[in-house]
Amino acid sequence: MSLIEITEVRKSFGDNEVLKGIDLNVEPGEVIAIIGKSGSGKSTLLRCINGLETINAGSIQVAGAQLATDELHLKALRLKVGMIFQGFNLFPHKTAGQNVMLSQMVVKKTPKPEAEAMAKKMLDRVGLGHKFDAYPDELSGGQQQRVAIARALAMQPVALLCDEVTSALDPELVQEVLAVVKELAAEGMTLLMVTHEMRFARDVCSRVVFMHMGRVHEIGPPDEVFGDPKTPELRQFLGAQH
């Protein structure tokens, strides 16, 4: 059984079908890059996996937790899979440390001292142990995104969804976030990332998924997908990148 099983998933917004039957299985420790033009459904797919979008057909399962619409099932699923957003979405009224502590205490009912120790550990892991008491607006975009990663990691998920995590960053801040993601990959974290960083996808990912018009158009190891694209759509997409 795979860690993440996505079977025949369909999703429409009104009349517009954005996912037209997606099948994807992810093994533990895999790092998957999802690439494709905007509007190809890649972000929607990611958001379906942890239930931020409801699906119209098919099924999604992460480590035995099934996607369903009730709060209980959603919570079980979301404890397995964390998500990092393009816009960081840190809680602005809480410090970096409190951001990392909050869901541990509220959702997992972790006692405060333990949550605090975990927050310190996770902030250290992303290189921001010294920013424990800083508010999000006192941090750079790159630092905010790293806090967001620490916040997701503190819930000890089995997989992380990364939705264009560097797209909102100034160019000079991209690397510090990618370095953290790379480290996670090296430590064996299962990652699904929608990304425009092609070089990063090539270097770090075990498989690359090219989405086109709501379908998985091509899938394979990065060498194959980037080195020997089979379809004209992928060739065109890769050509347009440079």
- Give the interface with other proteins as residue ranges (CB under 8 A): 50-52, 71, 74-75, 78-79, 82-83, 85, 87-93, 102-103, 106-108, 135-137, 144, 148, 151-152, 155
Nearer to other proteins, 33 or 84 (CB): 84
Work out how close the CB of 143 gets to other proteins at its nearest, in angstroms, rounded to a whole number.
12
DSSP codes of every residue in the chain: --SEEEEEEEEEETTEEEEEEEEEEE-TT-EEEEEE-TTSSHHHHHHHHTTSS--SEEEEEETTEEP-SSHHHHHHHHHHEEEE-TT----TTS-HHHHHHHHHHHHS---HHHHHHHHHHHHHHTT-GGGTT--GGGS-HHHHHHHHHHHHHTT--SEEEEESTTTTS-HHHHHHHHHHHHHHHHTT-EEEEE-S-HHHHHHH-SEEEEEETTEEEEEE-HHHHHHS--SHHHHHHHHHH-
Work out how close the CB of 129 gets to other proteins at its nearest, in angstroms, rounded to a whole number.
21
Q: How far apart are CA 187 and CA 226, in angstroms?
A: 25
- Which residues are 20's β-sheet partners? 10
Nearer to other proteins, 137 or 172 (CB): 137
Work out how close the CB of 3 gets to other proteins at its nearest, in angstroms, rounded to a whole number.
18
Work out how close the CB of 83 gets to other proteins at its nearest, in angstroms, rounded to a whole number.
4
Nearer to other proteins, 69 or 240 (CB): 69
Work out how close the CB of 198 gets to other proteins at its nearest, in angstroms, rounded to a whole number.
26
Amino acid, res. 83: M
Nearer to other proteins, 61 or 144 (CB): 144
Nearer to other proteins, 46 or 208 (CB): 46
Nearer to other proteins, 7 or 86 (CB): 86
Of 147, 30, 50, 40, whose CA–CA distance to 99 is shortest?
147
Work out how close the CB of 137 gets to other proteins at its nearest, in angstroms, rounded to a whole number.
5
